[in-house]
């Protein structure tokens, strides 16, 4: 007989506005304790320096984390010109300096070079693995290693303000795997200078924006309330909140039961054709199968056959 899990079976998403100086793991821990939840995870780590949107997944919502992480992200960031650091942000040690300061015209002129698919070398202080070890652990121990350039995509890059000769603030929409610290470093390089991030704020992760978020102060205030768990439960978004861009299929009771047991479902020609037409314009071919308003499984369609990929135990 398996050991009973600690906590309650809480399912859904909680979107936090992370402050600077706190780790993503610490934020998960606080929220999980307040909800007394059995299982929790987050949809994309934020560095301690960074602030902004940190989506937390609880229970069966953890099975949909990849959909939030794979979505577009929006960041505001400020770059200080003239200094490069080993971490590409102000938490690191200065490694090089430059006297050159770009003007607004020069900054605007280089931004189009970073739009679309680009090759980007991640920061040495990153969670990527090199021969089974985290890059940031190797960097902290002063070991020599190389990180290969990776393809990332920048959808929008705007200069918001020039904050004196030494600093500028930008906003970017980017795809999965983009390091904004590397983007800041590379913009500085194109401008013939050096640079590092002094402010980084995530404004959106996939479908989750600041309009959904609660602050750490609000979270802590709920923790001191007699109805802490109930108040926080009211802030939870449904599991399907991370799945707003995929096809949805309504199930009968019998079909839902089959999928819950991992069995495939054979659709009639009309339903299969309508579902295939809906999928035809989508990059993601995943289907959310629901019984009423209850998510049942994430599925794939092959001709008439609906196959469960991830079953949601709700």
CA–CA gap between residue 40 and residue 56 (Å, rounded): 7
Instruction: Give bridge partners of residue 152 from the DSSP assignment.
Output: 118
Contacts of 308 (CB under 8 A, 6+ apart): 259, 262, 263, 264, 289, 297, 298, 299
Q: What are phi and psi of 171, to 5 degrees?
A: -135, 140
CA–CA gap between residue 152 and residue 154 (Å, rounded): 7
The end-to-end CA distance of the chain, in Å, is 22
CB 165 within 8 A of CB 186: no
CA–CA gap between residue 170 and residue 181 (Å, rounded): 12
CA–CA gap between residue 300 and residue 293 (Å, rounded): 20
CA–CA gap between residue 167 and residue 31 (Å, rounded): 35
Of the residues 47, 70, 89, 258, only one is catalytic, namely 47
Decide if 47 is catalytic: yes
Q: Give catalytic residue positions.
A: 47
């Amino acid at each position: 007989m398996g050991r009973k899990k600690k906590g309650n079976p809480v399912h859904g998403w909680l979107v936090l506005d992370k402050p600077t100086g706190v780790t993503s793991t610490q934020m998960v821990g606080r929220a999980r304790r307040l909800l007394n939840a059995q299982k929790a995870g987050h949809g994309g780590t934020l560095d301690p320096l960074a602030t902004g949107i940190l989506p937390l997944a609880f229970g069966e919502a953890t099975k949909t984390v990849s959909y939030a992480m794979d979505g577009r992200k929006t960041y505001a960031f400020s770059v200080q010109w003239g200094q490069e650091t080993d971490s590409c942000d102000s938490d690191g040690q200065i490694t090089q300096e430059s006297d050159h300061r770009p003007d607004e015209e020069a900054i605007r002129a280089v931004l189009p070079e970073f739009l679309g698919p680009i090759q980007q070398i991640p920061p040495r202080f990153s969670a990527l693995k090199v021969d089974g070890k985290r890059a940031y652990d190797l960097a902290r121990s002063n070991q020599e290693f190389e990180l290969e350039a990776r393809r990332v995509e920048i959808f929008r890059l705007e200069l918001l303000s020039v904050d004196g000769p030494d600093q500028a603030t930008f906003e970017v929409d980017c795809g999965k795997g983009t390091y904004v610290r590397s983007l800041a470093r590379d913009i500085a390089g194109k401008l013939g200078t050096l640079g590092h991030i002094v402010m980084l704020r995530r404004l959106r992760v996939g479908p989750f924006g600041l309009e959904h978020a609660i602050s750490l102060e609000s979270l802590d205030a709920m923790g001191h309330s007699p109805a802490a768990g109930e108040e926080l439960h009211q802030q939870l978004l449904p599991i399907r909140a991370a799945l707003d861009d995929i096809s949805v299929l309504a199930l009968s009771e019998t079909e839902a039961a089959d999928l819950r047991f991992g069995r495939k479902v054979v659709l009639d020609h009309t339903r299969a054709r309508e579902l295939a037409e809906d999928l035809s314009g989508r990059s993601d071919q995943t289907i959310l199968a629901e019984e009423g308003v209850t998510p049942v499984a994430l599925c794939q369609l092959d001709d008439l056959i609906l196959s469960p990929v991830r079953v949601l135990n709700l």
